[in-house]
Amino acid sequence: MSEVRTCEPFELYNLLNQCRAVSRLADINYLCLVDAREIQDYNTSHIITAKSVKMDSDGKFFLPVAVEVDTMQHVVVYDSNTSCLQENGRAAECAQVLAQASLCPVNIIRGGFQRFSALYPFLRTEKMMYTIMELENLKTYPVEIIAGQLYMGDMKQGVDSSILTDLKISTIISISQTDTLESMKGNQAILNIPVANSVLSDLYSSFERICSFIGSHMNMDSRVLVVSRQGRSRCSAVIIAFVMQHLKYTLEEAWKYLLKCKPSMRPNTGFLQQLSDWELHTMGTKVTDISEPLF
């Protein structure tokens, strides 16, 4: 039997917004998202791609039809408002059934549908069935690094006005050689750092300025989005540098933290060395061995 645990709404938000060439939700073995509420509540509104769970004649939950839970990389369940495992609500009951079949931990969303939908109303839907093409073409949002404060994405997301509105983004940092975001001035505060995605490029000299910029805007309750062209190398290096400074993390701790938010992130080797130098600057010593397989 797999472990049953709780997770924060932003963790599900990030699972829903992973993307490679297309949305990860198009992978049939990626995410099993189960709505354990009453069927009438599910029919009214539910989290995008969630399946409604059924009960047998004895009032016991049984697995969703055509969902092979044992092949899933992630299993998540929610009810209306369960906030802890001890509540023994519908989510906890359903999670126990799912844990019997799952090979990975089963996560219960803390605060349930009420909390998630209040934070991310744009991820609610009445739609129950999706074709693979529809899943491939789902809009993906920037991943959330610090809940309600800091986000990371690609340039396409950085110029999408509906995404910026939905996430209430008021500050954007663009790590790019182009000035794509310049035309948006007036709507968001924009900082452009003209750096190429090359192992020879210097990001280190901008870390202090960027971290100060992010911190000052977060202190003003502004939501900050950091973008680069593909949202994988330059912006992830900047985010790691900020997490190291802001949360007092080592390079390894910050790297693992960001991997949980976006597994496809990958600063190039030049930026990795600069992050190692940044660790010396922020920690006073180099703690992390960047020759380890993790990197």
- Give the whole-angstrom CA distance, residue 24 versus residue 117: 21
pLDDT tens track, the chain, 295 positions: 899 999 999 999 999 999 988 999 999 999 999 999 999 999 999 999 999 988 888 888 887 666 789 999 999 999 999 988 888 899 999 999 999 999 999 999 999 999 999 999 999 999 999 999 999 999 999 999 999 999 999 999 999 999 999 999 999 999 988 766 665 555 788 999 999 999 999 999 999 999 999 999 999 999 999 999 999 999 999 999 999 999 999 999 999 999 999 999 999 999 999 999 999 999 999 999 999 999 9
- Give the whole-angstrom CA distance, residue 152 versus residue 158: 9
Nearest to 168 by CA among 142, 131, 133, 139: 142
| Predicted TM-score (pTM) of this structure | 0.95
Which strands, in side-by-side order, build the sheet including 189-193? 143-146, 150-154, 223-228, 169-175, 189-193
State how far Cα 266 lies from the chain centre.
Answer: 15
- Give the whole-angstrom CA distance, residue 63 versus residue 71: 13
State how far Cα 111 lies from the chain centre.
Answer: 18
Q: What is the set of domains in the chain, with CATH numbers? A: 4-136 (3.40.250.10), 143-283 (3.90.190.10)
